[in-house]
Amino acid sequence: MTLTDDFHTQNLFIQNLKDTYSTNDTKTIYLNEQNASLINMNGWLFWVFYAVAIIFSIFCFLEKDWSMTKKIIIVLVVLLYPFYIYYVEKYLLIAGTYVKDMFMGNTYASPDF
């Protein structure tokens, strides 16, 4: 057995170990499990939010002192919250970044998002 054959055998052994016990594969598996868990939790929290929103809507309509227009507006704002909050957060982040950059003297900075 020559030195190159020995080196080649060791290289194949190391490559086999990398393929079997790669930390990248382990990290990928862990991240996929976490992602699936977060998607599942997001779905459950979405339905919990709507259950609480419906209970709030019932109590809102049972309130005697408010006008019907006020009740409908409040219920719509609460029920549509998951759909419009992303855009509100995005524009607030852009405005906040702009103000911060203006105070820091970085007037030509553009947001990364």
pTM for the complete prediction?
0.58
pLDDT tens profile 15-69: 776 666 566 667 778 888 898 899 999 999 999 999 999 999 999 989 888 889 9
Per-residue tokens: 3:
């030195």
The DSSP string of 10-69 is HHHHHHHHHHHS-HHHHHHHHHHHHHHHHHHHHHHHHHHHHHHHHHHHHHHHH-SSS-HH
